[in-house]
């Protein structure tokens, strides 16, 4: 019997992205640059996160004209963002044929209590998380891929590092726990018990875990890979840099060869200026996108 959009098919799609770089693009031209540089997928957006931050107001699903333009421009998978809890935006993106939906804190949440029931969809979802509990809640709702939230549009890697380190430390702790401790830990983390049991047995999340939110240089990408990321999302980091083509190629190479420092040094030379960064403490509480999501 043929089964479409099974959990294995959705998670498998994310497995195929491992070791790769997913790049934010806002038009066909950027999408082609990303594909030519070796991106494994592109995220079609109206504005990159740093511009969303600058524009303020309500950030919604992208103009579908842009999504369609990007889908026509490249043969690699195309992702798009829906607002947290906005299952109609997600259904519309699914109907358009996007390959992956990011239920994303970069957009203004549509629901301040609940996320989308992602199990109902045949298209896979990626969601952001800051710690193990949040990651397992999203997987419990049907997410097929997790990424750190970091702090999008800042070009500052510190939050992504914190989120990845937190998650990995919690995974190690759960792995070494005795069985009697698991239920109480599920309660502490706010995580579904069965998924925590999986982490205990396997020492990893049941889905692929990427880094996102602040990656701006090849070294940032390699750092996240060494901290345990399966791959990297780069939002504003490429097309807000001085030389997007060079930055894109260099970040792809540094992600593949993340422990080869000679190679990273070589690809990092003469790149020009990276995107402008923002110090996290300078952000007002209300401007911290990572606080969105429940």
Partner 1 sequence: MKIGVLALQGAVAEHIRMLEEVGATAVPVKKVEELDDLDGLVIPGGESTTISKLMHKYGFMEAIRQFGEAKKPIFGTCAGAILLANRINGQEDCHLGLMDMKVERNAFGRQKESFEVDLPVAGIAPDFPAVFIRAPYIMELGENGQVLAKYEDKIVAARQGHYLAAAFHPELTEDARIHKFFLDMVKEYRADKVQA
**Does 75 engage in binding with partner 1 (CB under 8 A)?**
yes
**Does 99 engage in binding with partner 1 (CB under 8 A)?**
yes
**Smallest distance, partner 1 to C-beta of residue 158, A:** 27
Task: Cite the beta strand spans of 118-224 per DSSP E.
Answer: 125-129, 145-148, 208-210
Q: Which stretch binds partner 1 (CB under 8 A): 39-47, 177-185, 269-277, 281-289?
A: 39-47
Among 87, 100, 125, 210, binds partner 1 (CB under 8 A): 100
**Does 4 engage in binding with partner 1 (CB under 8 A)?**
yes
The SS3 assignment for 212 reads coil
Among 23, 41, 160, 212, binds partner 1 (CB under 8 A): 41
**Does 39 engage in binding with partner 1 (CB under 8 A)?**
yes
Residue 244 structure tokens: 């997007």
Among 253, 289, 290, 293, binds partner 1 (CB under 8 A): 253
Where b means 16+ CB within 10 Å and e means fewer, 78-110 reads bbbbbbbbbbebbbbbbeeebbbbbbbbbbebb
Neighbours of 6 (CB within 10 A): 10
Query: For this structure, is 72 an active site residue?
Result: no
Active-site residue, selected from the candidate residues 10, 81, 149, 240: 81
**Does 143 engage in binding with partner 1 (CB under 8 A)?**
no
- Measure the CA–CA gap between 153 and 50, rounded to whole angstroms: 4
- Measure the CA–CA gap between 220 and 19, rounded to whole angstroms: 14
**Smallest distance, partner 1 to C-beta of residue 6, A:** 6
- Measure the CA–CA gap between 242 and 89, rounded to whole angstroms: 33
Q: Which is nearer to partner 1, 91 or 288 (CB)?
A: 91
Q: Which is nearer to partner 1, 16 or 54 (CB)?
A: 16
**Smallest distance, partner 1 to C-beta of residue 135, A:** 19
Q: Which is nearer to partner 1, 9 or 265 (CB)?
A: 9
Q: Which residues contact 78 (CB under 8 A, 6 or more apart)?
A: 31, 41, 42, 43, 44, 67, 70, 71, 98, 99, 100
**Does 44 engage in binding with partner 1 (CB under 8 A)?**
no
Q: What are phi and psi of 286, to 5 degrees?
A: -65, -20
- Measure the CA–CA gap between 131 and 196, rounded to whole angstroms: 13
Contact criterion met (CB below 8 Å) for 168 and 227: yes
* Interaction mask 9-38, partner 1, x per CB under 8 A: x--xx-xxxxxx--------------x--x
Is position 120 annotated in a ligand binding site? no
Half-sphere exposure in the Cβ direction for 91 (13 Å, CA): 7
* Number of residues lying near partner 1 (CB under 8 A): 36
Residue list for the binding site for D-glyceraldehyde 3-phosphate: 165
| Interface positions with partner 1 (CB under 8 A) | 1-6, 8-9, 12-13, 15-20, 35, 38-41, 75-77, 94, 97-100, 122-124, 252-253, 256-257
Residues marked as catalytic: 81
């Amino acid at each position: 019997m043929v089964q479409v959009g099974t959990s294995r098919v959705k998670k498998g799609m994310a497995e195929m992205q491992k070791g790769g770089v997913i790049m934010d693009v806002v038009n066909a031209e950027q999408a082609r640059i990303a594909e030519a540089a070796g991106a494994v997928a592109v995220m079609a957006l109206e504005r990159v996160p740093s511009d969303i931050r600058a524009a303020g107001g309500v950030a919604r699903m992208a103009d579908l004209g842009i999504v369609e333009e990007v889908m026509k421009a490249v043969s690699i998978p195309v992702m798009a963002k829906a607002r947290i809890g906005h299952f109609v935006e997600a259904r519309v993106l699914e109907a358009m044929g996007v390959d992956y939906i990011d239920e994303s804190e970069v957009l203004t949440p549509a629901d301040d209590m609940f996320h989308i029931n992602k199990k109902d969809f045949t298209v896979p979802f990626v969601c952001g998380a800051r710690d193990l509990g949040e990651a397992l809640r999203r997987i419990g709702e049907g997410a097929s891929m997790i990424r750190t939230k970091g702090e999008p549009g800042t070009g500052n890697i510190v939050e992504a590092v914190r989120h990845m380190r937190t998650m990995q430390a919690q995974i190690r702790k759960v792995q070494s726990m005795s069985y009697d401790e698991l239920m109480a830990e599920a309660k502490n983390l706010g995580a579904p018990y069965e998924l925590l049991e999986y982490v205990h047995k396997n020492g990893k999340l049941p889905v692929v875990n990427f880094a996102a939110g602040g990656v701006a240089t090849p070294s940032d990408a390699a750092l996240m890979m060494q901290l345990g990321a399966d791959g990297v999302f780069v939002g504003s980091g490429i097309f807000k840099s001085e030389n997007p083509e060079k930055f894109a190629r260099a970040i792809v190479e540094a992600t593949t060869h993340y422990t080869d420092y000679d190679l990273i040094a070589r690809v990092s030379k003469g790149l020009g200026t990276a995107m402008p960064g923002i110090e996290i403490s300078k952000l007002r509480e209300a401007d911290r996108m990572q606080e969105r999501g429940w």
